[in-house]
Structure 1
């Protein structure tokens, strides 16, 4: 073959405008309209193209020879704007990842332990929360940051192990891989929101580092041994998260905690009004935790009945 440049077709580039429709309050309901530009072809052996140079962020990262990192291999960054024409500033999530939460969910629901496994899971969680409450007491922001770094672990561990199982057995997962990874990502966005409100101190970071390391390995082993136990533990952890955020809301309403303006990342992620406050953020996060509670108790119930998760359609998009 001659030295002619070889073309390859990349996926369509997102247009410079993106609009998404308003959502109802039903779980998993989403809507967005994305228009695509014609497919763009790039030379595989050319490190950048004139067209891509016009689609750069304000402060692009460049190599030592001046080339823009994002277009070094001919892949331009997507340039996305909000419906009002302003630039989309977030790289940690995209507009189609945002949603309007279903806050009508029952936050008082509790799964009553009915067998040894349930009781073991319940009392494990009750035991773990004692030192946490003694340390944080009513320091809600610090408590929330630790809570979210731990809460994002089960979904990732479960999704990862189901992913490997799917590969080993050459079978689908019924959507549960995606559902659990969605849960993990949603919990991570909770943390990203709280980081905007309060930067953790060095000792809080040390606690997170230690707790996450221990919890990840313990949960990994628990999931390998008994997925139904692992999901039940997570269900009870989420119940405690709901209770913690309820206390947070009560202290905000009582004036014990400042109801500051909501950070921009929360407004865009949950599609909140521009004048939203911290209370609005905590309110929707509590609803998310209640949904995670239901997902994990549901997953455990499926397995307690002798079925595999793949046999029941996963509640994908059920925040």
Structure 2
């Protein structure tokens, strides 16, 4: 073996030590009865050979090269950590690729104080300061048969609500908002379809009614943060919403003037319920807890706002919805269509 290595080294020196040339990739050695073994040999260190470090240095390098563990191999723990980090980065890159493939990505939105905007369900430009100067005592007196039917219908619907919820105004408000968010969506949807069928503008009423539905939904999202509904209350919501949606849908198709008048009276009842809610808060019967963050951002309330502030702004919103729906009903009573009158967009 030593003789073979010496001959190879001398050939290397005679060739001029060209670093681009390699020795044969394998050496066949027959050490006797042990049988033949094959060793894979990488390029020799030409510098060591040129410096004449001798056969011992070459043999030592050959042993290192045929060793099963590389000299600079990374520890298994480090390899696992690096592979884990690479996998995480790969997942993040995949997510970025998926979100950016169609050119869709969420813009970075911040609050006025510079903190990140935490909500995807509404944006800062959709928030507002509620108008608390609105007259809460206005009432539409029933003048004709349709008005009386609408008024009596709402009064009858209030009876089972009072029996079931009594003075649990948080749960009552939650149920009320699941119902109050339906009419705006139904009205806006039917006006949208009418606009498509007749190739005519809606006068802005589609957007106005959908704004009302969205506002009522935000009332519900706020109340859910304050009141954790029980299973039977959730079941009741499913039943009431399923019945009310279909009944109101048919009613709006048959008589929009009656449908809007009923909603107007429902909003009057909502104002009354929230007024009672505030009475219990002021008396201490209901704890005046801190306002949820979602309410603070949506109505631009101060950071130290409380439940009383939240109920106050919700009551003002209900008063605005009362006016919008009574106004819509009046338009129909005058024999006109909604598109013929300006829609109260942004009326809050």
> What is the match of residue 287 of structure 1?
316
TM-score by length of 2: 0.72
Q: Which runs of 5+ in 2 are unaligned?
A: 1-89
CA distance in 2 between counterparts of 1:63 and 1:146 reads 42
Q: Residue 269 of structure 1 is aligned with which of 271, 289, 298?
A: 298
Question: 1:66 Cα shift?
Answer: 3.6
Runs of at least 5 residues in structure 1 that lack an aligned partner in the other structure: 1-61
* CA separation of 1:173 and 1:212: change in aligned 2, threshold 3 A: same
Alignment of 1:1-319 (within 5 A): 66-68=94-96, 69-319=98-348
Higher RCO (CA < 8 A, seq sep 6+): 1
What's the offset of the Cα at 1:64? 11
- Note closer, same or farther for the CA distance 1:307–1:274 as it changes in structure 2 (3 Å cut): same
Partners in 2 of 1:204 and 1:72 — Cα distance?
43
Give the RMSD, CA atoms, in angstroms: 1.4
Question: 1:303 and 1:63 mapped to 2: Cα distance?
Answer: 57
Give the length in aligned residue pairs. Answer: 258
Q: Mean alpha-carbon deviation: is it higher for 72-81 or for 84-93?
A: 72-81
SS at 1:273's partner residue? coil
- In structure 2, the CA distance between the partners of 1:143 and 1:65, relative to structure 1 (3 Å rule), is same
| Number of the residue aligned with 1:58 | none
Answer whether contact 1:71 1:77 (CA < 8 A) is retained.
Answer: no
User: Separation in 2 of the partners of 1:94 and 1:65?
Assistant: 27
Partners of 1:124 and 1:198 lie apart in 2 by: 28
Report how far residue 121 of structure 1 moved: 0.4
Separation of aligned partners in 2, 1:278 and 1:215: 29
* TM-score (norm. length: structure 1): 0.79
* Per-residue CA distance 1:71-114 (angstroms, 9 max, x = gap): 34331111100111100000110001100010100111110000
Q: In the aligned structure 2, how far is the partner of 1:300 from the partner of 1:149?
A: 22
Q: 1:274-319: per-residue Cα shift (whole Å, max 9, x none)?
A: 1100000000000000000000000000100101000100000112
SS of 1:67's equivalent in the other structure is helix
Partner Cα separation in structure 2 for residue 309 and residue 157 of structure 1: 15
Q: Kindly name which structure, 1 or 2, has the bigger radius of gyration based on alpha carbons.
A: 2
Runs of 4+ in 1 over 2 A off after TM superposition: 62-74
Query: CA offset at residue 123 of structure 1?
Result: 0.3
Q: Residues 112 and 63 (structure 1 numbering): CA distance in 2 closer, same or farther, change over 3 Å?
A: farther
* 62-71 or 262-271, larger mean C-alpha shift: 62-71
> Could you say what secondary structure the match of 2:95 adopts?
coil
Paired residues of 1:238 and 1:292 also in contact (CA < 8 A): yes
What is the CA-CA distance between 1:65 and the residue it aligns to?
A: 8.9
